[in-house]
Chains A and B, each alone.
Chain A
Amino acid sequence: MSAQEKYQSLLELANQNGTTYELSEGDNGTLVVTGTAPSAEAKQQLWDEYNRLDPDFKSGDLILNLSTGDAGDGGVHMYTVESGDNLTKIGKKYGIEWKAIWDHNRDILNDPDKIYPGQELKIPM
């Protein structure tokens, strides 16, 4: 049985509750569902169905990547500065140069050597 057939009730539910999605195939036949749910409730319904079909999400044959329509982070990842951090150290966590982070945060940073715990930095993806 293909992953699409295994999770068909989840996809039917998505059609019913107004979630739009696209399907693609990931690692070794993994079904990748990328979509937007109209509300947090609709998204939760789909996760509940996922848990019912695949208890504790253990099989690894589905990636359910849903956002809700009102999530407004625009795809930018935010990193919260911790004490002891510097841009080089943060960059290493993402495999990028410190300068890339500096370039994306010039609006809030005045000096690349001065960042403070709790500050939210935009990380380019």
Chain B
Amino acid sequence: MKRAFRIYFPFINAGMQETATYRVNWIFYILGSVLGCFVSYFIWHAVFLSGEGETMNGFTLPQMIVYIFLIFLTSTMIGSDAAWAVGEEVRDGSIAMRLIKPVSYNATFLFQELGNKLLTEMFLVVPLIAGLEIVRTILVGSLQFSVVNLLIYLCSCVLAYLINFFFNICFGFIAFVIKYLWGANMMKNCIVGFLSGAIIPLSFLPETLGRIFMILPFASLNYTPVMIYMGVYQGAELLYFLGLQVFWALFFWGLSKLLWVISVKRLSVQGG
């Protein structure tokens, strides 16, 4: 046991050291993104000041603040490079290499990304949530934070990540058809961003539109976890939306497997 530890520890050590150097660079990136959040905050602050009454479409200002920062946190946590990675492999042909390896295509990439995320997320989740709740408590005057909500939120995030991951894998297969993945990626991110409530809470949209968006898989990525955290979804509604997340995760997982089989057939016909 001790021997195994001595063999593997240097790798973990090296990995963490690499992340430590890379970390400084990453910090600036996160700071930049958090700044974007603050822009959002200030605009909403001005919006609420310009409006009448305490609430807008069901949100009070403190709730809006929580929403903005949580959406940011959730987006960071569930983000996935899967589309890009798959696209690259299709482009340079190395996707053929995966055929040879007797490992599940999805699994290797999934665990790799999870590993990366675990370390970086630790640094983000705690300070952000702590800071947010402190501000919220001050603004509202009473403690709104609920551990239960936090825990269910985290579970929902895991589901959301799985949906995002498999969706991205499926999207990556488009690289077989479109050459310029960068533009397509930008379009995807934009549309998904909007549909997931990252730009504006879905409840601000006209009734019918909002309801359609809620059922689409993208709302499950961002809007659902945040609503859970804020305690908006309770009881039966909560179970419904969690169930919806599970459904979409399974759907995209299945779709990715199907697309994989089709691609394999296509590759063998074309001869790589």
- Are these two chains actual partners, yes or no? no
B-binding residues in A (CB < 8 A): none
Chain B positions near chain A (C-beta within 8 angstroms): none
